[in-house]
Every structure is written in structure tokens, then in C-alpha cells.
Amino acid sequence: MTSLIATAPRSFPALLQRRSVRIGLGLAALSLGAAAIGLNAYLGAGPQPITVTDASGAATFNFRVTGIPVPGQLGEVHPQLTFDPRHLGATTGSVTVDLTKLNTGIALRDRHARNFIGAPAHPQATFTVTSVIGLNTIRPGQTISGTVAGQLDLNGVSVPLNAPITLTYPQGDPVITVKTAFNVVFKDHHITIPGADPQTDVKVEFRLPARF
């Protein structure tokens, strides 16, 4: 005990200095770590997909019945994606549309259309992403285009689908707008609509937060 008390006055300042250096380095590391978390906190950074629902998202279609154009809207778009603006090629997940809210502006026609596409038994159409082609990184102020490949499940029938996709990331807006357009061939999904064209064009738009 005597030797410890005797040596303490000489070693304590140096010990305190070393401890201060360690504490300073530790705080600096914590600050850098917090900054890194802030930079890396993109949607999907966690182990589970994050559900993003935006009421501004919409799916529209336009087909012809007995030569008459029938434009309409589907229900809200519900993306459930693991998504990182720095690594777009690693995107996984799905995008779902509620078919029970199909709307052509005429109630009776809406009910018939929902029945034809199988909405009572299969109320959702889901596109599951298998790969993203030609897209890598998107930065603020950019609009980029590529292709998304996957499976479209409609009327309980899943078929492969490749669709062009455009992403827009406005400067100063932490939201990325996603747009795509593709054709749905009815017979591929075992759908028959009397007097209608064999396919319809569909446009889908929704938004994803670029960061938390």
C-alpha cells in the first residue's frame, strides 16, 4: 500500500493523459460511427424489408372492349422492398396492388371487370422482383432508367415479366419516384374478357423514401 501511494503522484498525470487520449479517440470513433450510421441508414439497411405505403402511388390501365377504350385505375400500390440507392442491383421484395378497388368510372362495369380478372378469389396482383438490370446507384438530382425482372402473380397465375423502370431522385427531396409500364396478356393469367383486346397496358407509379 505504501509503494502504491508513493508512486501515485508521479504516475497519475501520465495515466490521466493517456486516459484522456483514449477517451478522446473513443468519442471520435463514436462520432464517426454515428455519421456512418446516418449515411448508411437507407431504406432496407436492416435485416427485414420495410413496408412503404404512399397514397400518391397509383396503378392505371387502358384496354378496349368491343373497340371502346376503357381506362381505369387500380387500388393503392404497396411496395415492400429492401432497397438501397447505392446498390440498386441488390433490390429485393415485391409490389402489390389491390384489385378489389379497380375503378373504371361505372360501378356495374367495375364489378364485371373485377370478376373477370379473378379479384373475388385473388384480390391482389403482386410483382416479385428477381433482378434489377442496368441500374447501380442513384444520387440526388438524377433520373435513371433500367429494367426490372420478376414474376407477376395475377388471378392466381404467376408468369415472368420484364419491365422498363425509371427512377427520379429530385435534388433536395428525400423521395425517389419509381415509374414503370408494361403489358399484361390476359390468356397468360387464364383471364377471358368477352369482346376485349387480348392484353392491356398497365402503368405503375409509387414513391420510396431514399433515407430514414
153, 166: one domain: yes
Task: Report whether 88 contacts 59 (CB < 8 A).
Answer: no
pLDDT, tens digit (0-9, with 9 covering 90-100), for 116-132? 999 999 999 999 999 99
pLDDT of residue 148 exceeding 80:
yes
Q: Please give the residue range of the domain that contains residue 34.
A: 1-40
CATH code assigned at 78: 2.40.128.110
141, 115: one domain: yes
Task: Report whether 161 contacts 182 (CB < 8 A).
Answer: yes
pLDDT, tens digit (0-9, with 9 covering 90-100), for 158-202? 999 999 999 999 998 888 999 999 999 999 999 998 888 899 999
131, 103: one domain: yes
Question: Distance from CA of residue 193 to its chain's centroid?
Answer: 31
pLDDT of residue 114 exceeding 90:
yes
Q: What are φ and ψ of residue 39, in 5° steps?
A: -75, -30
117, 17: one domain: no
Q: Whole-model pTM? A: 0.73
Bridge partners (DSSP) listed for residue 157: 154
C-alpha cell at 25: 479517440
Separation in Å, CA 99 to CA 7, 119, 183: 81, 6, 16
* Number of domains, the chain: 2
48, 22: one domain: no
179, 75: one domain: yes
140, 192: one domain: yes
- Give 26 or 168, the one with higher predicted confidence: 168
64, 7: one domain: no
- The pLDDT value given to residue 116: 93
